[in-house]
Amino acid sequence: MAKTIGIVGARGHVGADLVRLIAAHPQFELAFVSSRELAGQTLADHIPEYAAKNPELRYSAPSHEELPGLGADAVVLALPNGKAADCVAAFDAAGADPVIIDLSADYRFDDHWYYGLPELTRAGFHGQRRISNPGCYASAMQLAIAPLLNVLEGPVQCFGVSGYSGAGTTPSDKNDPEKLRDNLMPYALTGHLHEREVTRHLGHPVEFMPHVAPHFRGLTVTSNLHLSRRFEREELVEHYHRHYDGEPLVNVTDAAPWVSDIAGKHHVDVGGFALSEDGRRVVVVSTLDNLLKGAATQALQNLNLAFGHDERTGIDAHPRPRP
């Protein structure tokens, strides 16, 4: 029997991509999709991909207190930072215990929640029903850095550039196409939330400098790592392959990946591997689609994990050719 999924905050970019993924999933269907702005409108009118499963499903606007009574097996909170706690409290007060996946940063620092970056943390999943989805930049940074954690010296510097979909749908300078035209907009150059997130979960200091570019989706992170010993490039590339060759959603590439190649894809590209002359500094480039592997695809991986399905169910795994 199919499991039912509810999405709170389904109007945003990530919510829409998650609806499309669930539309293609053989074991999941939507119990409800909430959006105050679209309440009463038919979901299929906005996301035609869902029409085959339920052409009559409509957006709704339940209160927090009404959410537990909707009976979903899992609830995905696709809300801005700072908004998840009231929803979680409503489930707790009602004694309801669905799987809850929070896409915001609200529980990424809470040890009572499983931090769901499966390629690095699935060994720590033991049936937890509260799952915190990692940030998009944080996912790209951790996957680039993790294979070298035991040989790092000093902080890792990460220069990031994202498309403006990462700024959400609420109007701001960071998602205004006119202000971004022919532009690169730096922001939060110290103390960014994802800087703190990566530092906490890797247990190693990271310094992150994010920017917004005029494209819509996809991000790239260039990470500068100082190493405690010398590496040859071939050894380094093979080291990354050993870490990720069993991971269908991580693709190790010889060349530095381009953000234009990752849009609409479910995987992460990690590559480039530029070494300094002394072999003790490496620059690694990682790219992912911030709305997919950086959010919706990763949420689906976590839903699959929670319900005992193969993590890739409903996800078009990208082929992983050896360079």
Region for 40 from its dihedrals, namely left if φ exceeds 0, alpha if ψ lies in -120 to 50, beta otherwise:
left
Q: Mean pLDDT across the chain, nearest whole number?
A: 95
284 contact partners, CB below 8 Å, separation of at least 6: 144, 145, 222, 223, 225, 270, 271, 272, 273
Q: Which tens digits make up the pLDDT trace of 312-323?
A: 999 975 444 433
**Cα 272 to Cα 79: distance, rounded to the nearest angstrom:** 35
pLDDT at position 174 is: 86
pLDDT at position 48 is: 96
Domains of the chain (ranges, CATH numbers): 3-106 (3.40.50.720), 136-289 (3.30.360.10)
pLDDT at position 322 is: 38
Average pLDDT for 25-37: 96
pLDDT at position 132 is: 98
Residue 82 pLDDT greater than 80, yes or no: yes
Q: Which tens digits make up the pLDDT trace of 233-271?
A: 999 999 999 999 999 999 999 999 999 999 999 999 999
Q: Which tens digits make up the pLDDT trace of 268-309?
A: 999 999 999 999 999 999 999 999 999 999 999 999 999 999
Q: Which tens digits make up the pLDDT trace of 154-203?
A: 999 999 999 999 877 777 888 888 899 999 999 999 999 999 999 999 99
Average pLDDT for 70-76: 97
Alpha helices by DSSP H, the chain? 13-23, 43-46, 84-94, 118-121, 136-145, 177-180, 193-202, 233-244, 297-306
Q: Which tens digits make up the pLDDT trace of 137-154?
A: 999 999 999 999 999 999
By annotation, the residues acting in catalysis are 136
Residue 113 pLDDT greater than 50, yes or no: yes
Q: What percent of the chain has pLDDT over 90?
A: 92
pLDDT at position 23 is: 96
Average pLDDT for 213-217: 95
**Cα 140 to Cα 157: distance, rounded to the nearest angstrom:** 13
pLDDT at position 251 is: 97
For residue 159, the one-letter residue type is F
